Structures are given as C-alpha cells and as structure tokens.
Amino acid sequence: MNLSELKKGQKAKITSINSKGPIKRRLMDMGVLPGETVEVEKIAPLGDPIDIVVKGYHLSLRKSEAEQINVEVIE
C-alpha cells in the first residue's frame, strides 16, 4: 500500500521510499523517512495534492510523489 491510497484521517508507518535522487533526498530532508508515522490530514479541494502530518508538522505533496512512498496502516 502506498501513501496516496490512504484515506483522510488514516495513520500509517512508512516502510520504504521508491523515489530516486533529488526527490528522495528532499523527502528525507523534510522528515519523510522509513519508520516514521504519517497521517493524511486533508486532500486539496481538486483532489490533489494531499496534506500529511509528519514529525508534528504539515507537509503537502502531490499524489504522484505519494505513490512512491510505501506505508503500512496502523490505525
């Protein structure tokens, strides 16, 4: 399961990141790391991007990027 498939309000743990190069580095710099807990907070009115909470702050990213992040639902 990947991050883009999570529903609003669902919490999950990141298992791995498939992105490569700069995008992966950027995600990691922003605290999106394997083992981290994320929660989908909101989805933009037009359906994309999404707003997640990671490390206690809000981060928005497009679904195309979220698809590259594998997660495991915990709640």
Partner 1 sequence: MKEIKVAVAGNPNSGKSTLINAIAGTNLQVGNWPGVTVEKKTATIKFDDLTINLVDLPGTYSLSPYTQEEIIARDFLVKEKPDLIIDVVDSTNLERNLYLTIQLLELDIPVVIALNIYDEAKKKGYEIDIEKLEQLLGVKAIPTVATKKEGIKELLQVLKDFASGINPIVPKKFNYGDVEESLKIVETALKINDPGLLNRYPSRWLVLKLLENDELVLKETGLKGDEKFLKQAVSHFLKSHDEDMESIIADIRYGIAHGVTRDVLKKREKKHIDFTEKIDRIVLNRYLGIPIFLIAMWFVFKLAFDFSAPFSDWLDSVISGPVTKWTTVLLNAAKSPEWFVSLVTEGIIAGVGAVLVFIPVIAVMMFIITLLEGSGYMARVAFIMDRLMHSIGLHGKSFIPLILGFGCNVPSIYATRVLETERDRKLTAMLVPLMSCGARLPVYAIFIGAFFAKNAPTVLWSLYVLGIFMAILLGLVLKKTLFKGFAPVFIMELPPYRVPLFRDLMIHTWQKLRHFVIKAGTYIFAVSVIMWFMLNTPYGVEKENSALGRVGKTISPVFEPLGFGTWEASSSLVAGLIAKEVVVSTMAQIYGTDNGQKDNSEGKEGTKGFLEDLKNVAISFFNAVVDAFQNLLAGFGIKSLQVEEEEEMTTLKSKLQEIFTPLNAYAFLVFVLLYWPCVVVGIAMRQEFGSWKLYGQTILIHSIIAWLVAFLIYQGGRFLGF
Residues in touch with partner 1 (CB under 8 A): 17, 22-31, 33-34, 42-49, 51, 55-62, 65
Read off the amino acid at residue 55. Answer: K
**DSSP state letters, 20-69:** -HHHHHHHHHTT--TT-EEEEEEE-TTS-SEEEEETTEEEEE-HHHHTTE
Q: Which is nearer to partner 1, 35 or 72 (CB)?
A: 35
Q: How far is the CB of 36 from partner 1 (least distance, A)?
A: 9
**38, 32 in Cβ contact below 8 A?**
yes
Q: How far is the CB of 1 from partner 1 (least distance, A)?
A: 19
Q: Which is nearer to partner 1, 11 or 59 (CB)?
A: 59
Q: Which is nearer to partner 1, 1 or 44 (CB)?
A: 44
Distance (Å, rounded) from C-alpha 1 to C-alpha 22?
A: 23
Q: How far is the CB of 24 from partner 1 (least distance, A)?
A: 7
